[in-house]
Structure 1
């Protein structure tokens, strides 16, 4: 996979060849992962999802007392992403009830004290259902009707009427973002859900310019929609990644991803604060300070 051309927020590609080059690069990256999966066809499964607990409904999450802590973590990470539109607690509960229904799974990664430090949840269904759920996400409220129509048109050209894996949320606390192991633990159950339900294609969105944006391109996802805030993706074949995630440790997957993932733009250094001037009172004769 190749890097998708990076443009300043609010602009679009001006040269038609950009889209052609991006498609060729994406095709080459997909072939890279297919080759890796074929190479590992006789490998045994690696470690399981230690430290990750799986849920298939909001009720199961709430009964064990993790719902409130998970919601707090989700709101915190959404603020860090600088996306506009935070779900109110009641609205977010309704959203989870919609998305954690039917063939679904939520993976929660626990910290040393047992509190959630990472999450990922997804559902298998039709593309239309996935986009209907996305349209009710507050962070995607800036998309216009034309954007949704274009997203669905381009995604349907790849998915057709088949079942898709709709990834609804991925997040990790900042102290767990070093290394690929936490993310592998969260993503592997989602890929296994797709395999169990015959879904070979996946759809999701990510904040533009985020680590998830670059990683999505590195795994061969194609860009279906891009705005100044978010990017929508479709992965045409999840099976190679399912094989790779099952057969390789996290460090080996990270090494492979590093060979094809686009480099993230360097972070801007924080702006230097101007020196604060302090007024020193003038001294009067006799040693007393002036008021």
Structure 2
């Protein structure tokens, strides 16, 4: 069994990733840690429980993390995901926050890794605040992990939140810097430009959500707002290759659960720019090796989209 911790800020693509995780064969989710990001932390917590309820997996422990970044101003993505993070289509029967575990997210990460040394893969699809605090509390934490998969950062200095910055890194640049500096476990990064180049066709989207199941209906309902935005001419100009929808967080999760998903990658040392009016939060690729870092991240360049389509169909069955 692959043992996972998911660190999330549940919006629409996080929800899709979570649904893939709970239906992936030979995968055990040991905990879900929640962070500020696409929406407020309270909404993230509610959304996580809501997705788990749809998947009949409220047995998975959920932990409350940080509601704000270490130093930066708070960001949100309500223009895309909706004010509540899930398309502003509330469910009156959604589970309550009394189901949350009492232990905080960073402490939960440390405990889970300590109890399963070398076996846990951490998948981070949110701003990296929880991860940064965890390594501050226990500098040996990364050594206990099997691997770390991140959706965040960018490779071509093309931003989606600022001129040069991707949302998850811009939402907490200091946290991203700490994680890329101190996590020396095998680290895989699904960056913004790669996600855009790996867009899945709208024809697949329509076929996928025509599946006659409760889960497919749920995804369709919460995605209506974001997909209207994604199909707009304005948004398609923003992405690197506007050929379809970009379930960004799904790529990092799929790579974590299927060792054969990544078909092309490169290893390079990376860091995060903390200064600069236009470049704060931008991921820096050190091809000239001037940073003198021994640890190099695996930058995902291409993946097996047919495998991803199968995962997506399985997620809504």
**TM-score w.r.t. length of structure 1:** 0.30
Structure index of larger Rg: 1
**TM-score w.r.t. length of structure 2:** 0.28
Q: Which has the higher contact order (CA 8 A, sep 6+)?
A: 1
